[in-house]
C-alpha cells in the first residue's frame, strides 16, 4: 500500500484547506495517508489518515530573514518525516506548502496543487513568474483546479505545459444529500421563516468576495420584495464592515451572519437562490455544493471556475456581456471594475435583476433545480478521485 502525504498549511479555514482535508478522507480508502500541517492549533475540517503537526505556524510579523528561517524549519521537519515514514507521494496545496514540498524532496513523487487563477490574484512580476516556474520544474506534476487556470499558468507565468494538468475539486455528494436534511439552528429557522425569498452566499468575509455588493442589491430588491433576505456563511476581517453597512442601509434585521458553520447544507437547501459575486475564484466549490442541494445559482462570469461549472461546453475564455441561462444557474457579467458604493452600477444592476428573476420566476426556478443534479455529478468524489489515483500510481 502506497504511503501518501497530503501537505497543507492548516485546517482552520479556506477552500484549499478544505479540499486537502476532503482529499485525505477519500485517499485514505485506498492508501496509507498522512495529513501534514504546518499548524494544527485549530481544526474545523474532518480529515482522513494520520494527522502530523509540524508545529511551525506562519509568522504574524518579522523580518525577511525570520521568514526564511521559518520556511527552512518546515523543510527540515518535513524531510525528517518523509524519510522516517517512507513517503511515496506528497501532494501539497498552495504556494507555501508547494515550496516546502519541493525543497524537502526525498524519494517521493511531488505533486503540487494551485487553487486559484494566477493572473487574477497575482502580479506577473519576475518574482512570481520565477516562483511558479521553480515549482513547475521541481514538481513531478503541477496541478490546477480549472482548465483555464492551467492555460493561464503556462501562458502568463511560463510554466512548462508538459508539467501542468487539471484535476477538478470534488464533492462528497452522498454526504451532502444526507447532511442537507438536518435541522437548522433555532435562530436560523426564525430568520428563514421571516424571509421566504432567501439569498445565500458562502465564503470568507474578505474584500475579494464582495459580499457588500449583495447587501446593496438586497436594499434595492426589498423595495419590491419584502420577503427577500440575505445570509452569508463564513468568517473574516470584513464582518464588522458588513454589519455596519447593513445598519446604514436599514437591513440589520434582514441580513444574517452566522459565521463558520460545520454543516452549511441545510442553509443551502432551504434558500431560494445562491449568489456568487467574487472578484476572482479558482474553482468555487460552493457552486457545486449549491447544485448538489438543488439550489439555483446566480454567478458572475469571472475567469476560471463559474463557467467551467455552469457552462462547461462553451468557450472558457469568453465573458458574457449579458445575463445568460446555463445548466443550473444564470451567468452575469463580472462586476469587479465597478465602484462598490452608492447606487448600483450597470453590471451590479444586471446581477440584481438576475436575483430578482430567480426569486420570482417559478418556471425558471424549477427548470434550473431539475438540472442541478446533473451539474453536480460531474464533480463527484468517485469520478475525481479516480483521476487522483491515476496520477498517484504513475512511475517516477
Dmax of the chain from CA atoms? 65
In this predicted structure, the answer to whether residue 396 has a pLDDT above a threshold of 90 is no
The pLDDT confidence band at residue 15, using thresholds 50, 70 and 90, is confident
- CATH topology for the 173-377 domain: Rossmann fold (3.40.50)
The pLDDT confidence band at residue 122, using thresholds 50, 70 and 90, is confident
The pLDDT confidence band at residue 262, using thresholds 50, 70 and 90, is confident
The pLDDT confidence band at residue 86, using thresholds 50, 70 and 90, is very high
% residues pLDDT > 70 (the chain): 100
Cell numbers at 7, concatenated = 501537505
Question: What secondary structure, in 3-state letters, does 235-272 show?
Answer: CCCCHHHHHHHHHHCCCHHHEEEEECCCCCHHHHHCCC
- How much is the pLDDT for 305? 85
Phi/psi at 255 (nearest 5 deg)? -130, 125
Query: pLDDT of 343-362, one tens digit each?
Result: 999 999 999 999 999 999 99
- How much is the pLDDT for 359? 97
In this predicted structure, the answer to whether residue 73 has a pLDDT above a threshold of 90 is yes
Report the alpha-carbon angle 177-181-187, nearest 5.
135
The mean per-residue pLDDT over the stretch 383-390 comes to: 96
Residue intervals of the chain classified under CATH 3.40.50.2000 are: 3-170+380-392, 173-377
From residue 349, give the alpha-carbon distance in Å to each of 50, 132, 378. 49, 38, 31
In this predicted structure, the answer to whether residue 120 has a pLDDT above a threshold of 80 is no
- How much is the pLDDT for 277? 97
Q: Mean pLDDT in the chain?
A: 94
Cell numbers at 30, concatenated = 485506498
- How much is the pLDDT for 309? 94
- How much is the pLDDT for 145? 93
Q: CA-to-CA distance for 189 and 95, rounded, in angstroms? A: 40
Query: pLDDT of 178-233, one tens digit each?
Result: 999 999 999 999 999 999 999 999 999 999 999 999 999 999 999 999 999 999 99
Query: pLDDT of 295-343, one tens digit each?
Result: 999 999 998 789 999 999 999 889 999 999 999 999 999 999 999 988 9
The mean per-residue pLDDT over the stretch 147-176 comes to: 94
The pLDDT confidence band at residue 124, using thresholds 50, 70 and 90, is confident
What CATH class is the domain 3-170+380-392?
A: alpha beta
The pLDDT confidence band at residue 60, using thresholds 50, 70 and 90, is confident
For helices 239-248 and 211-221, angle between their N-to-C axes, nearest 10 degrees: 20
Phi/psi at 159 (nearest 5 deg)? -75, 135
The mean per-residue pLDDT over the stretch 374-388 comes to: 95
- How much is the pLDDT for 33? 98
In this predicted structure, the answer to whether residue 153 has a pLDDT above a threshold of 80 is yes
Amino acid at each position: 500500500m502506497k504511503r501518501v502525504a497530503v501537505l497543507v498549511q492548516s485546517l482552520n479555514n479556506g477552500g484549499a484547506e478544505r479540499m486537502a482535508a476532503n482529499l485525505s478522507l477519500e485517499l485514505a480508502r485506498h492508501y496509507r495517508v498522512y495529513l501534514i500541517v504546518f499548524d494544527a492549533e485549530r481544526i474545523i475540517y474532518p480529515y482522513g489518515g494520520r494527522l502530523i503537526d509540524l508545529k511551525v505556524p506562519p509568522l504574524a510579523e518579522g523580518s525577511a530573514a525570520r521568514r526564511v528561517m521559518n520556511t527552512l524549519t518546515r523543510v527540515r521537519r518535513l524531510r525528517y518525516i518523509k524519510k522516517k515514514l517512507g513517503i511515496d507521494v506528497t501532494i501539497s496545496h498552495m504556494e507555501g506548502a508547494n515550496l516546502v514540498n519541493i525543497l524537502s524532496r526525498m524519494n517521493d513523487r511531488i505533486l503540487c496543487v494551485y487553487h486559484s487563477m494566477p493572473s487574477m490574484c497575482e502580479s506577473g512580476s519576475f518574482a512570481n513568474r520565477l516562483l511558479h516556474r521553480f515549482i513547475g520544474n521541481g514538481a513531478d506534476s503541477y496541478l490546477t483546479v480549472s482548465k483555464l487556470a492551467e492555460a493561464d499558468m503556462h501562458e502568463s507565468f511560463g510554466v512548462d505545459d508538459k508539467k501542468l494538468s487539471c484535476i477538478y475539486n470534488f464533492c462528497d455528494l452522498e454526504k451532502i444529500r444526507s447532511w442537507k436534511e438536518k435541522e437548522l439552528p433555532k435562530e436560523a429557522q426564525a430568520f428563514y421563516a421571516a424571509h421566504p425569498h432567501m439569498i445565500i452566499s458562502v465564503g470568507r468575509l474578505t474584500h475579494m468576495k464582495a459580499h457588500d455588493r449583495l447587501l446593496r442589491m438586497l436594499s434595492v430588491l426589498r423595495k419590491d420584495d419584502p420577503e427577500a433576505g440575505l445570509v452569508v456563511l463564513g468568517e473574516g476581517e470584513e464582518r464588522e464592515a458588513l454589519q455596519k453597512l447593513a445598519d446604514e442601509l436599514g437591513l440589520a434585521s434582514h441580513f444574517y451572519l452566522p459565521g463558520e458553520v460545520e454543516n452549511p447544507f441545510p442553509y443551502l437547501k432551504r434558500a431560494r437562490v445562491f449568489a456568487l459575486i467574487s472578484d476572482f475564484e479558482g474553482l468555487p466549490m460552493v457552486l457545486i455544493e449549491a447544485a448538489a442541494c438543488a439550489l439555483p445559482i446566480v454567478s458572475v462570469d469571472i475567469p476560471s471556475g463559474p463557467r467551467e461549472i455552469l457552462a462547461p461546453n462553451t468557450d472558457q475564455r469568453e465573458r458574457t456581456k449579458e445575463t445568460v441561462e446555463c445548466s443550473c444557474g444564470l451567468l452575469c457579467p463580472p462586476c469587479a471594475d465597478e465602484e462598490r458604493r452608492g447606487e448600483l452600477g450597470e453590471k451590479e444592476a444586471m446581477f440584481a435583476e438576475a436575483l430578482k428573476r430567480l426569486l420570482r420566476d417559478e418556471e425558471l426556478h424549477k427548470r434550473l433545480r431539475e438540472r442541478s443534479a446533473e451539474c453536480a455529478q460531474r464533480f463527484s468524489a468517485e469520478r475525481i478521485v479516480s483521476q487522483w489515483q491515476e496520477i498517484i500510481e504513475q512511475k517516477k
